[in-house]
Structure formats: C-alpha cells, structure tokens
Amino acid sequence: MIKILDLLASVDANSLCFLMIMQGSVPTISIDNTSGCQLYLSKESLDTSITTAKSSEINALIPDENSDGDWVSTLLTSVT
C-alpha cells in the first residue's frame, strides 16, 4: 500500500499489484507494467493526470458526490 498526502512532482509505479491512496493532490501518476492496481483519489486529487502503459486491471475510485463516504469505481484501460 502506498499512501500519499501531497506531492509536487509525479508518482511512477511499476509493480505486479498495489493499492495507492491519494489523500492530497498530485499532478501526475504514471503506471507501467502493472497487473492489478487500485487508486483511491481524494477530492483534492481529481485533477490528477493518469497515464498507463502495458498494464491491466487498474481501477480508479473517486468520492461519490451524492453520498457521504461512498466511492465510485472506474476501470482504466491501457494501450499495450
């Protein structure tokens, strides 16, 4: 599990499977050669640019605007 509060640069991830929780803001997340990734993005990180390559099973979860504490899951695709 990777937990990030605030970041000025970018996050590069290259792993088989991981969980990343963004509690603050980060400009860019780059995911390469990964199979199985869960990204929890806070309200502060909704403008994050996410790039993927040679990866699969990547889910981005964002706060649901219409509820208190629920998350909405979105499957991200990658070009191989």
pTM reported for the whole predicted model: 0.79
pLDDT in tens, 1-59: 667 667 666 677 777 788 888 888 888 888 888 888 899 999 999 998 988 888 888 99
Q: With bands split at pLDDT 50, 70 and 90, how would you rate the model's confidence at 77?
A: confident
The full set of domains in the chain, from first to last, is 2-76 (2.160.20.70)
User: What's the CA gap between 67 and 32, in Å, rounded?
Assistant: 32
Contacts of 69 (CB under 8 A, 6+ apart): none
